[in-house]
């Protein structure tokens, strides 16, 4: 179903969807695309939106390497062969070698079910770009590091709008995913808090969810959710348990790929709890995790 382009600020538009994409007007009829979405279908919507605005894309920025944020790259590259693709360092490498995404989730080359478009985009030639103020397609954007959900990730601030990528999730997404995916839960919490403290943000748009004028409220809600996840995992460790047993207790996954995402999230929180000396782990046939006694 065609989705309507919405304007967030002068020259800043977004395509609402399961993953939001941003189109920022640059100089001389150029545009910057931020996140290309899951697949060809979203890339086509972006191309349609660009032509309705009379713009041609000069640059494409992927906030991080997850397939639902860069899965449209290949189609956009085919339509606009001169487009420059950028991503945070490390994430750019993963976008170039996209087969690594299902491998790191599974721990080896996985069966085909984990190599679908949700977990493996077509590779594309992303170049690393540093944080801070950067000029793309003649427009200055501020790239703000917000790692945690992904090992390295940028939010983008422009014209009073913060595109939070997956640094912050909309309330409905949080409610739907009791285990909200992360690769480093300590950094995920720190990034949510830091994004919430940013000044001069009139509107925040999460990668998944609706725009909101209440940045600090959204950040607090995310932080609470992530802290509650740690607390629930800690309670699971009252009896020694394997990571898989904890996932079985807390996950509401309805498919194998979702189960693997939940397992990564549980392992990330367990790493944080071990480094905080709240949990011990030992090998007992399988690795088991238990509360650390004072």
CB 66 within 8 A of CB 264: no
Token pair listed for 100: 């690594």
* Shorter beta-carbon distance to Zn ion: residue 166 or 272: 166
> Secondary structure of 165-200 in the HEC alphabet?
ECCCCCHHHHHHCCCCCCCCHHHHHHHHHHHHCCCC
**Closest distance of CB 66 from Zn ion, Å:** 3
**Closest distance of CB 62 from Zn ion, Å:** 10
**Closest distance of CB 49 from Zn ion, Å:** 22
* Shorter beta-carbon distance to Zn ion: residue 8 or 19: 19
**Closest distance of CB 179 from Zn ion, Å:** 14
The residue with its CB nearest to Zn ion is 66
**Closest distance of CB 113 from Zn ion, Å:** 19
* Shorter beta-carbon distance to Zn ion: residue 58 or 170: 170
Question: Site residues (CB under 5 A) for Zn ion?
Answer: 66, 166
Strands of 161-165's sheet in order across: 132-136, 139-145, 154-158, 161-165, 203-206
* Shorter beta-carbon distance to Zn ion: residue 18 or 256: 18
**Closest distance of CB 268 from Zn ion, Å:** 13
* Shorter beta-carbon distance to Zn ion: residue 188 or 230: 188
The residue count for the chain: 294
* Shorter beta-carbon distance to Zn ion: residue 17 or 138: 17
Backbone angles phi, psi at 268, to 5 degrees: -65, -45
d(C-alpha 63, C-alpha 153), whole Å: 6
**Closest distance of CB 148 from Zn ion, Å:** 11
* Shorter beta-carbon distance to Zn ion: residue 83 or 165: 165
């Amino acid at each position: 179903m065609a989705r309507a382009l919405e304007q967030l600020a002068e020259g800043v538009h977004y395509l609402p969807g399961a993953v939001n994409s941003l189109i920022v007007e640059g100089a001389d009829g150029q545009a910057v695309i931020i996140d290309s979405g899951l697949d060809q279908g979203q890339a086509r919507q972006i191309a349609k939106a660009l032509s309705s605005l009379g713009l041609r894309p000069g640059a494409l920025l992927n906030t991080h390497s997850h397939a639902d944020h860069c899965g449209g790259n290949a189609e956009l590259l085919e339509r606009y062969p001169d487009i420059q693709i950028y991503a945070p360092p490390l994430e750019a490498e993963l976008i170039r070698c996209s087969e690594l995404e299902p491998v790191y989730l599974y721990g080896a080359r996985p069966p085909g079910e984990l190599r679908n478009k949700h977990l493996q985009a077509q590779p594309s030639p992303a170049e690393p770009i540093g944080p801070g103020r950067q000029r793309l397609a003649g427009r200055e954007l501020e790239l703000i590091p917000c790692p945690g959900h992904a090992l390295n990730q940028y939010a983008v601030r422009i014209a009073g709008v913060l595109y939070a990528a997956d640094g912050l999730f909309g309330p409905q997404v949080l409610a739907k995913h009791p285990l909200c995916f992360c690769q480093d839960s300590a950094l995920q919490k720190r990034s949510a808090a830091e994004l919430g403290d940013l000044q001069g943000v009139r509107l925040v748009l999460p990668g998944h969810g609706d725009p909101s004028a209440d940045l600090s409220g959204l950040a607090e809600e995310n932080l609470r959710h992530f802290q509650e996840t740690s607390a629930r995992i800690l309670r699971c460790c009252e009896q020694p348990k394997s990571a898989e047993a904890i996932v079985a207790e807390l996950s509401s996954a309805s498919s194998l790929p979702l189960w693997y995402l939940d397992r990564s999230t549980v392992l990330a929180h367990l790493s944080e709890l071990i480094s905080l000396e709240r949990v011990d782990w030992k090998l007992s046939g399988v690795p088991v995790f238990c509360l650390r006694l004072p």
